[in-house]
Amino acid sequence: MNRTNEIILKRIIEKDSNLSKTVADYYMSLKELNDPAKAVELLARHVAMMVEMINDFKNSPR
C-alpha cells in the first residue's frame, strides 16, 4: 500500500468510527420516538442506499 492509500485509509477509518457513533445515536433517537413503523421507514431508506453502494462496488472492475 502506498503512502497516499495509507492516508486515505486512515481518513476512511476515522469516518467509519464517526459513522458508527452517529448510527448508534440515530438508533437511540428512533427508539425514543417509539414509532416502529416510522423507524422502519427511515431505516429502510438508508439500507437501500447502502445496498446500492455495495452493488456498485461488487460490479466495479477490480
Amino acid (1-letter code) at residue 1:
M
| pLDDT per residue of the chain (62 residues) written in tens, 0 to 9 | 899 999 999 999 999 999 999 999 999 999 999 999 999 999 999 999 999 999 999 999 87
CA atoms of 42 and 29, how far apart (whole Å): 12
Q: Which grid coordinates are listed for 34?
A: 417509539
pTM exceeds cut of 0.75: yes
Q: What is the DSSP string of 12-39?
A: HHHHHHHHHHHHHHHHHHHHHHT-HHHH
Q: How far is CA 56 from CA 25, 49, 61, in A?
A: 27, 11, 10
